[in-house]
Amino acid sequence: MIHCEGLVKIYKAADLEVFALQGLDLRVEAGELMAIIGNSGSGKSTLLNMLGGLDRPTAGSLTVDGKNMLKMSETDLVRYKRESVGFVWQNNARNLIPYLTALENVELPILLQGRRKRLRALELLEAVGLTHRKNSKLHMLSGGEQQRVAIAIALANHPKLLLADEPTGSVDSKMADQILDLFRELNRTIGITIVIVTHDPHLARKVDRVVAIRDGKISSEMLRRKSYAEELAELEQGIAVSEEEDTHVEYAILDKAGRLQVPAAYLESIGIKDTNKVKVELADGKIVLTSPE
């Protein structure tokens, strides 16, 4: 579904150039539910904007659903944003029109496509568990309900890719769990590819794959030891799962030149703090990093 290779994004402000992405490589399979995590300024939101056609890369290659995002005309880009991708934003003001009801908000993008809107909108509100709130306006809905309406809107035109930018950032932990469970249910039932961008490591317990971005590049990936379905089955069988249990295995990512990003905490733990040098040795089939001193 998504293939990024050597992706670069440079923003220019006055005489300054800011590298938001610095040769990022990423593959996302069709039907995958995955999360992208990273600190503020790491480049994760920049990547999401480019996947959604809201911004164009400076260099590299980016293909989404077989479409070359660098070579798209403006007309093709508008069609892509209408038909191929759905967005869920953290700020509900970007998702919803306050003077419309929940049902009318979901109907609007369907109406723009000239399709039968009422039946589809009701189906979507049922899918997100909000049929009983269909006639409620924005101020009558809780933050979690507003976010579920936003998810229904994002699905209105049958997109193949759903992008969510900090979708649990404005709700409490209980509602965040419900929203993440909803994403998983939608991914399982309709097979839509879902990419969630967040700074919340709690998400790692809900998805099978987590990609970490640091300084504009993929620094590591975390893959689930057991599938989420297997964990749920164990819970149903009464097998206790510890909250502290390490559910994922983390892997560092090598780029094509053999470079990898070593976490700063790891380097500091072996005494590498005020130098850019590290001693690399091959010992007993292992690559060992030590302080140069």
Please state the rounded mean pLDDT for residues 117-129.
Answer: 84
Same domain for 178 and 282? no
pLDDT for 235: 64
Report the C-alpha gap between 160 and 65 in whole angstroms.
Answer: 8
Rounded to the nearest 5°, which phi and psi values hold at 172?
-75, 175
Confidence of residue 64 (pLDDT cuts 50, 70, 90): very high
What pLDDT, on a 0 to 100 scale, did the predictor assign at position 244?
53
Could you list the residue range(s) of the whole structural domain that residue 65 is in?
Answer: 2-84+159-260
Q: How far apart are CA 151 and CA 62, in angstroms?
A: 25
Helix (H, G, I), strand (E, B) or coil at 118: helix
289/183 same-domain check: no
* Residues whose CB is less than 8 angstroms from the CB of residue 4 and which lie 6 or more positions away in sequence, other chains included: 24, 25, 26, 27, 47, 60, 61, 62
Write b or e for each residue in 282-293: b if 16 or more Cβ atoms lie within 10 A of its Cβ, otherwise e: eeeeeeeeeeee
A 10 A CB-CB count for 232 gives 12
Instruction: Verify that 69 and 177 share a domain, yes or no.
Output: yes
CA dihedral 136, 139, 140, 146 (to 10 degrees): 70
* Per-residue model confidence as pLDDT tens digits over 257-271: 788 888 778 888 888
Query: Are the CB atoms for 146 and 115 separated by under 8 Å?
Result: no
Considering the entire predicted model, what is its pTM? 0.84
pLDDT score, position 163: 94
CB-based contact 225:249 (threshold 8 Å): yes
Tens digits of per-residue pLDDT, 206-225? 788 999 888 888 888 888 87
Q: In the chain, count of helices (H) and strands (E)?
A: 8, 13
In order, the DSSP letters of 10-50 are EEEETTEEEEEEEEEEEEE-TT-EEEEE--TTSSHHHHHHH
Summarize pLDDT for 220-233 with one digit per residue, the tens.
888 887 766 666 66
What is the predicted pLDDT for the residue at 232? 64
Least confident of 82-86, 233-237, 273-277: 233-237
What order do you get walking across the sheet with 2-13 strand by strand? 16-28, 2-13, 59-64, 67-68
Query: What is the number of domains present in the chain?
Result: 2
Average pLDDT, stretch 116-144?
85
Give the pLDDT of residue 63: 93
The yes-or-no verdict on residue 62 having pLDDT over 70 is: yes
In tens, the pLDDT along 145-169 reads 888 898 988 988 889 999 998 887 7
Instruction: Pick 114 or 169 by higher pLDDT.
Output: 169
| Residue 293 and residue 240 in one domain | no
Strand partners, 251: 221
Where residue 242 falls among pLDDT bands split at 50, 70, 90? low
**Is the pLDDT at 243 greater than 80, yes or no?**
no
pLDDT value, residue 143: 82
177 and 279 part of one domain: no
- Residue pair 124/155 in contact (Cβ under 8 Å)? The answer is yes
- Region of 168 (left: φ > 0; alpha: ψ -120 to 50; beta: rest) is alpha
- Is 203 found in the same domain as 171? yes
Whether 114 maps to a domain, the answer reads no
Is 91 part of a structural domain of the chain?
Answer: no
Same domain membership, residue 238 and residue 268 = no
Instruction: Give me the pLDDT at residue 182, please.
Output: 87
Q: How far is CA 278 from CA 33, 121, 223, 270, in A?
A: 37, 58, 28, 10
**Whether residue 24 is found in the same domain as residue 65:** yes
Going by their DSSP bridges, the two strands 67-68 and 85-89 should be labelled as unpaired
pLDDT over 90 (residue 173)? no
What is the C-alpha separation between 4 and 25, in angstroms, rounded? 5
Q: Where are the beta strands (DSSP E) in 118-208?
A: 161-165, 193-198
CATH of the domain at 202: 3.40.50.300
- Partners of 161 in beta bridges: 85, 193
The first and second tokens of residue 23, run together, are 């040769």
Is residue 219 within 8 Å of 212, Cβ to Cβ?
yes
- Residue 48 within a domain: yes
